[in-house]
Structure 1
Amino acid sequence: MAPYAGTDGVLYTLPGSLPQSTVPDGLNPETAAIPCIARLNFLTTADFTEGALWKDLYALTGLPRTLFSARTIGAAWKDVYAVHKPWNFAFTPGTAEVVRMRPDSSWVEARFTFETKGCPAAFCSGMLSLVQDGSGVWKIWILRTILERLKGHPDVDVPNPRVQTINMRNNEFDCLVVGAGQCGLATAGRLQSLDVNYLLIEKNENIGDNWMLRYDSVKLHTVRAFAHLPFERTFPAESYPELLSRHDLAKGYKLWCDKLGINVWLSSQLKSGSRDEKKKKWNLVIRRKDGETRVSARHLVLSTGATGQDAAVPAFPGREKFKGLVLHSSEYKSASQWKGKSGVVVGSANTAHDICDDMVEAGLSSITMVQRSRTYILPVEFAHVGDKLLLAKCLLEKYNDAISTDLADRIEYTTPLSIASQIATMHLNAMVRQNPERFDALERVGFKVQRYGNPIFTIYENGGKHYIDVGTSAKIAKGLIKVKSDSLIAGYTKNGLIFEDGSEVKADVIVLATGYETSFRPTVVRILGANIAAQVEDFWGLDREGEVVGGYKPIGHPALWYMGGPLGHSRFFSRFVSLQIKAELSGTPLIRYSRTPSNDSGVIGNAGIGESHL
């Protein structure tokens, strides 16, 4: 189901829909939940609705997987049950509730815990979403299972502050993590919790420079509660504003690192590396201030961003003609030095809006946004309203000071994307219909609005080409920022840009807010060489089950990992990358289940060093 004409992508091909089911008023949800959880010990296809979904995060499949239909789930459960021998399924008291999404769609939801006896043995958790069939029998609509802890090892969710210098063992590490942004910090903290001998390296001079070196006015467009690092509320309400600035983020990161004693080398950049397959380790060269240092590591985690590091700079013809200043948004710091001048910003997503807003505040004589494609606008207040658990079922409404971040993450990232997409679309589109003037005002001044969009599609498959409106849309509607959207750029002129319709927009400065190259592969080629790059997947986008391509799982080389994505992904999925590394180092790698609806043979195997069944 696409929310607007012309939308395509994997997301809209995924099976699954909201149930046509109504929970009776006055029902005690525990009377439905407790018997169904008890049946998990003897689960069969008959226990599921025909259109059921099972989202497993490493507990029984060893991977992030979403399986669809009672037949597929029943067969898969039988396979993994024989290997992992899950047992001790127990209802979590106080978690059963009725969720009423709309008058004709409601269900019972409850959480549970269980254990596995396989190798590795583990503690796990799960959630059930239950509906009644035509005869009044409660059946599973959605099953979610999560790996929580490896038995015999520390808890990945409990901090382990380092009180003494880590044992370097002649610069030999179990794991090297590259990049100390949110992803790298989260992974380092999790590895430390698991007593893994790791090293984190960061090319910049200070923790938080990945934000401090961006433009001066940058702020998050998502709520403060979504930005926490693992283990704690890194940005408590009494100390930080709701929309965090670069200074806030850098401060929070630094305090978190100091508190935990994170083992990080600053001003250190991974220059090159090679794989010694005989010894099962990476030999790596790190460039530091005082020269090059060689280290070895069994695992290598690249946490250098959700996409590549190279700016995407459009090659409009005639650049040499323009007498003003042209820079990419990656080079932009502030508009304060351009007061009284004319500015043009090419692009219409979050960064372009921020820079245009900055230009307004700096007093430029004219500001023009060049919009090259229709842009999804999500008013920030649409995404962050309410603090009740029912509203927390909706995308981006889970993260606040009333709900624990751990619980919010488990709700967010165990909801199959086809279902999360429908819930988000239903709620957000209803708000759009109730507020038409907000979008009509933009259309009247020439801004092409995609008002019935979907943030899940935008994030996973459309490269983040959206704007979470924190105030700049009103300035566009008032004419403080002009919009050029009726023709494509033909090239530069002496005084600005010329368009295919023959019109010209004059400028003293042109900022290209055109994003970054989307592939991770050039980074792998540059550091590890073309042979390693040829073995691995790229990163981001969705596979046919609605899981992140190349994300948080083996990517073709068993000792190389990607860690990237939005703030929530970095916090939550760092736990699973770290658990997989710990399991391998302990000699009990996670068992991967590779059965798919089109591969009914079923393949189960250890995905350790040198062996991967995907």
Structure 2
Amino acid sequence: MASEDLHAISTVWLKSLEAASSTGDFTSFVGHFLSDGWLRDLLCFSWNFRSLSGLDKIHRFLSEVVDGKPRFEHSGLRNFKLEDCTANAPSPFKLPGSQGIEGVQGAFTFTITKPAALGRGFFRLTQDADGKWKALTLFTNMQDLIGHEESSADQHGLYEGRKITWEEDVEAKFRAIEADPTILNRTKVGGGQSGLMSAARLGRLGIRALVIEKNARVGDSWRQRTTFPKYIPKGKLAHFIDSYAVDQELCVWLSSSIASTPVYSPSSARWTVEVQHGDRKVIIHPKHLVLATGYGSPRIPTWNGMEEFQGALYHSDFHRDAEQSRGKRVVIVGAGNASSDICEDFVAHGATEVTMVQRSATCVMSSTTAEKTYLNVPFPDGTPVEELDFRSNSMPKAFFMQLKISGGTEYSKMLDKELHDGLRKAGFNLTWELSPGSGEVGLEGFVLDRQASGTMLDIGCGKLIIEGRVKIKRGQDISHFEKDGITFKDGSKLSADVIVLATGNEPIMKTTRSLLGNEITDRLPSKVWGLDSEGELNQTYRPSGHPGLWFAVGSFQMSRFYSKHLGLQILARELDIV
């Protein structure tokens, strides 16, 4: 289809959509969707993240009454303008899956009446049975609150009109934050990206954020990890995170932790938090508490006889260096990402024998296939990362899972056929379903539902398994430990000098309970992460169910994108416009 045709189709549809929006006619607005179309809304029609599928659900959502008006009329989206720049000009698309869905896609901007805000949207149009162009997906996303836009200004040298240096200015800002922080951003994993990015976003929106970090240096969680043979080395990433905190002028209390259970006062709408800051305790009263505590504490199962094992026994979170295990027999319990990375490390450092104990099937994708199907996107070189994040998040997650089930996963499996055949021959058990018969959602589905638990993004361990350099012990329950190894319930035994428990991490809510206690935790939904009934991530960068409490969790990509939404929600509460 010619570019002028793509532009004409997009223009006609968008003008008609604006006419419906500007007149408050939500029946007409909903009529612009396919019968099974999707609306994904981030903060434009409600102060939450919503994904609605089907005309009835979209209609009910937009017709809900807010301050005496239907939600659709109350929000008042106006001034729709098609984006025509190179990266966002209307273009054809074809979605993965057996249905071969294709059509026209494009981005547009708009304004929101209440609250006064700027928005940005993205549409994917296909033709219905009558040949009319309708929305398969429509994404509406709040960008900024008018008059409180995110600052992008950087200042260097002497500040105009003031005879102070950058160092003096930052020191004064830190003193103000420490005296009365609006946000206490609690992170436990080496100044993790989620906590730091959230603090940076809040700072750019003029909100005072204090970061509490248990380690002695920002980035320590990456410095202390195994070195991977692909992608960014751990040390370089750790140094980047450290420099990020400096560049973004983040106020971070290192070697600090929350000393007692925080208490929330509904009357003052503030927390009372006791912080162990170095060798002294400090009481602070922030309005908001952001938990960026990573993916939970180590899950360490217990088996009889563990205390009798005479070799080295530890959880994968505490693996640092395999050099000390040169010439030794190693058993790794678990068959996911942590296990595969650690197996490679032991093989590279000359362990005599490395055995992976696989207790349940694993979803495996090679890094090469991940790059072809997930990481590589059809944008010109030099496209800003913000644009890539926007386009990626315009897709409703539940719809994305449907596409994976309908053929997207089958395509990625085809690319990895040689790897999968070799793993099966070596005795490795594979799956792409979250539960039997639920459909093959693939690695991305495991990421969204289980924080990637049960997956292996293969960067070399698969080859070691196929070659027999990493042996597989599959499908056997552990009976007990002995002084020189592990005995299984079928009577078989693995002798070992080193045993690593690559058994994953506890649910985030267990970490939350240990921090906040039962009274607050019992009021919250049962989990953080995983998709809710609409396909949005539970409690992640969105209202948690308790005032002044937020969860910031996820990858670099998720933290980049959703930290802005976290900032907008907190800013709106500070402005009393929620």
Give the TM-score, by structure 2 length: 0.87
Separation of aligned partners in 2, 1:76 and 1:495? 61
How far apart are residue 545 of structure 1 and its match? 0.2
Q: Does 2:95 align with 1:101?
A: yes
CA contact (8 A) 2:95 2:102 kept: yes
How far apart are residue 453 of structure 1 and its match? 5.3
How far apart are residue 347 of structure 1 and its match? 0.5
Q: Does 2:45 align with 1:60?
A: yes
How far apart are residue 359 of structure 1 and its match? 0.7
CA contact (8 A) 1:57 1:414 kept: no
Q: Secondary structure at the match of 1:112?
A: strand
Q: Does 2:467 align with 1:490?
A: no
CA contact (8 A) 1:55 1:66 kept: yes
Partner of 2:79: 88
CA contact (8 A) 2:328 2:497 kept: yes
Q: Secondary structure at the match of 1:449?
A: coil
Partner of 2:248: 260
- Comparing 27-36 with 40-49, greater Cα deviation is found at 40-49
How far apart are residue 432 of structure 1 and its match? 2.4
Partner of 1:596: none
- The Cα offsets for residues 44-67 of structure 1, whole Å up to 9 and x where unpaired, read as 232221111100011122211101
Separation of aligned partners in 2, 1:89 and 1:480? 59
Separation of aligned partners in 1, 2:390 and 2:119? 12
Separation of aligned partners in 1, 2:333 and 2:59? 51
Q: Secondary structure at the match of 1:370?
A: strand
- The Cα offsets for residues 438-471 of structure 1, whole Å up to 9 and x where unpaired, read as 2111111111122665123211223421110111
Alpha-carbon distance change, 434 to 294 in structure 1, aligned in 2, over 3 angstroms: closer
Q: Secondary structure at the match of 1:292?
A: strand
Where in structure 2 are the equivalents of 1:546-585 lying within 5 Å? 546-585=535-574
User: Which of 500, 508, 515 is matched with 1:511 structurally?
Assistant: 500
How far apart are residue 519 of structure 1 and its match? 3.4
How far apart are residue 428 of structure 1 and its match? 4.5
How far apart are residue 495 of structure 1 and its match? 1.9
Q: Does 2:59 align with 1:74?
A: yes
Q: Report the AA paired with residue 181 of structure 1.
A: G
Q: Secondary structure at the match of 1:135?
A: coil
CA contact (8 A) 1:111 1:127 kept: yes
- Comparing 316-325 with 555-564, greater Cα deviation is found at 316-325
Where in structure 2 are the equivalents of 1:419-568 lying within 5 Å? 419-424=399-404, 426-450=407-431, 454-464=442-452, 465-520=454-509, 522-537=510-525, 538-568=527-557
Partner of 2:332: 345
How far apart are residue 431 of structure 1 and its match? 3.9
User: Which of 211, 220, 227 is matched with 1:217 structurally?
Assistant: 227
Separation of aligned partners in 2, 1:335 and 1:134? 61
Separation of aligned partners in 1, 2:210 and 2:416? 50
How far apart are residue 493 of structure 1 and its match? 2.2
Q: Report the AA paired with residue 508 of structure 1.
A: D
Where in structure 2 are the equivalents of 1:51-450 lying within 5 Å? 51-78=36-63, 79-94=70-85, 95-101=89-95, 104-118=100-114, 120-155=115-150, 163-164=169-170, 165-166=172-173, 167-168=175-176, 171-179=179-187, 180-214=191-225, 216-218=226-228, 243-272=231-260, 273-305=262-294, 307-309=295-297, 311-385=298-372, 395-398=374-377, 402-424=382-404, 426-450=407-431
Separation of aligned partners in 2, 1:495 and 1:524? 37
Alpha-carbon distance change, 292 to 188 in structure 1, aligned in 2, over 3 angstroms: same
Partner of 2:162: none
Separation of aligned partners in 2, 1:202 and 1:148? 29
Separation of aligned partners in 1, 2:350 and 2:94? 50
Alpha-carbon distance change, 435 to 539 in structure 1, aligned in 2, over 3 angstroms: closer
Separation of aligned partners in 1, 2:178 and 2:232? 40
CA contact (8 A) 2:329 2:353 kept: yes
CA contact (8 A) 2:177 2:209 kept: no
- The Cα offsets for residues 143-189 of structure 1, whole Å up to 9 and x where unpaired, read as 11001000110226777898432152772211111113101110011
- The Cα offsets for residues 14-48 of structure 1, whole Å up to 9 and x where unpaired, read as xxxxxxxxxx6777211110111112223323222
Partner of 2:161: none
Q: Which ranges of structure 2 fall in alignment gaps of 5 or more residues?
A: 21-27, 64-69, 157-165, 433-439
CA contact (8 A) 2:200 2:250 kept: yes
Alpha-carbon distance change, 432 to 588 in structure 1, aligned in 2, over 3 angstroms: same
Alpha-carbon distance change, 149 to 157 in structure 1, aligned in 2, over 3 angstroms: farther
- Comparing 321-330 with 294-303, greater Cα deviation is found at 321-330
Separation of aligned partners in 1, 2:417 and 2:44? 45
Separation of aligned partners in 1, 2:33 and 2:444? 26
CA contact (8 A) 1:395 1:412 kept: no
Alpha-carbon distance change, 31 to 472 in structure 1, aligned in 2, over 3 angstroms: same
Alpha-carbon distance change, 471 to 320 in structure 1, aligned in 2, over 3 angstroms: same
Separation of aligned partners in 1, 2:185 and 2:576? 21
Q: Secondary structure at the match of 2:515?
A: helix
Partner of 2:160: none
Q: Which structure features the higher share of helix residues?
A: 2
Alpha-carbon distance change, 262 to 160 in structure 1, aligned in 2, over 3 angstroms: farther
Q: Report the AA paired with residue 96 of structure 1.
A: P
CA contact (8 A) 1:301 1:560 kept: yes
Alpha-carbon distance change, 86 to 320 in structure 1, aligned in 2, over 3 angstroms: closer
Q: Report the AA paired with residue 197 of structure 2.
A: A
How far apart are residue 435 of structure 1 and its match? 4.4
Q: Report the AA paired with residue 227 of structure 2.
A: S
How far apart are residue 250 of structure 1 and its match? 0.9
Q: Report the AA paired with residue 367 of structure 2.
A: V
How far apart are residue 133 of structure 1 and its match? 2.2
User: Which of 14, 17, 24 is matched with 1:37 structurally?
Assistant: 14
RMSD: 2.2
Separation of aligned partners in 2, 1:443 and 1:524? 39
CA contact (8 A) 1:159 1:193 kept: no
Identity score, percent: 29
Separation of aligned partners in 2, 1:157 and 1:100? 35
Aligned pair count reads 531
Separation of aligned partners in 2, 1:279 and 1:64? 27
Separation of aligned partners in 2, 1:376 and 1:51? 30
Q: Secondary structure at the match of 1:535?
A: coil
Alpha-carbon distance change, 367 to 337 in structure 1, aligned in 2, over 3 angstroms: same
Q: Secondary structure at the match of 1:348?
A: coil
Q: Secondary structure at the match of 2:134?
A: strand
Separation of aligned partners in 2, 1:199 and 1:552? 18
Partner of 1:592: none
How far apart are residue 572 of structure 1 and its match? 1.1
Alpha-carbon distance change, 531 to 486 in structure 1, aligned in 2, over 3 angstroms: closer
Greater RCO (CA < 8 Å, at least 6 residues apart): 1
Separation of aligned partners in 1, 2:46 and 2:409? 33
Q: Which ranges of structure 1 fall in alignment gaps of 5 or more residues?
A: 1-23, 220-241, 386-393, 590-614
Q: Secondary structure at the match of 1:211?
A: helix
Separation of aligned partners in 2, 1:568 and 1:398? 14
Separation of aligned partners in 2, 1:397 and 1:422? 21
- Comparing 31-40 with 187-196, greater Cα deviation is found at 31-40
Q: Secondary structure at the match of 2:276?
A: strand
